[in-house]
Amino acid sequence: MICATCRKGNSCPLHEPGGELGRPERLVGIGFRCWLAGYDTGSVEAWECGWDIYRDAVGDGPARRLVGELSCWARDVHGTARRRLSYYPFLHAVDASRFSDDEMLGVRLICAAQAGARAEEDRFAEALTGRRGNTRVTASARSFAEALTDTGLTLFAMDDNLLVISGAAEQEMHPR
C-alpha cells in the first residue's frame, strides 16, 4: 500500500527504515509539527499534511479522533506558550529522522500522559509552555494519549533517559 506522502514523491517517515523513534512516536512528533506550523502560518496545508499521515497510518475513523485530540492539545500548547516553539518546517514533516527539542518535549509529554506519569507530564508541559501547573495542556495531553491508547498506539516506556530535558530546551525555558 502506498500512502499519500509516498504518492507525492516524498520519503515517508512511516515507511522508511531507521530513525530513533518508533511509529507512534513519529506520528505524535510529526502531527505536533504540522499543527504548530498550521497555527503559526494560518495555512491549512500543514494540517492537511498531518491529516494525510494519520489517515494513512490508522484509517479514516481512528484518524478523526486522533487528529481531533492532537489539534486540541497542540492548540493548548501553542496558545499558552510564553515563547515561540521550535519545530522543523511542516514541509519536512516527512523527515521523521530529526525532531527539534520542542517536538521531542511534545512526544515526551504524550508518553508521560499515556504512562500516567503526572510529575513528568507537569515538567514537560512547563518546559514547552514556560508555565507551571498548566492543567489545560496536561488535560488535553491526557485526552490525546487516551485516544492513542484506544487506537492501539503505545508510545515507548518512560525511563530515566526520557526524563532529561535537553540543555537547549532548558535554555529556551529560561532565556538569558
pLDDT surpasses 50 at 172: no
Residue range 104-130: mean pLDDT, rounded = 95
Q: Could you give the residue ranges of the DSSP H alpha helices within the chain? A: 4-7, 23-41, 44-58, 60-80, 101-115, 118-129, 135-150, 167-173
pLDDT score of 122 more than 90: yes
Range of the domain at 126: 19-173
Domain-located, residue 3: no
Question: For residues 92 and 115, what is the distance between their CA atoms, to the nearest angstrom?
Answer: 29
pLDDT in tens, 148-165: 999 999 998 655 444 444
The pLDDT-based confidence of 10 (bands split at 50, 70, 90) is low
Position 99 scores a pLDDT of: 82
User: What is the model's pLDDT at position 21?
Assistant: 57
Number of domains composing the chain: 1
Q: Tell me whether residue 148 is in a domain.
A: yes
Domain assignment present for residue 122? The answer is yes
Rounded to two decimals, what is the model's pTM? 0.79
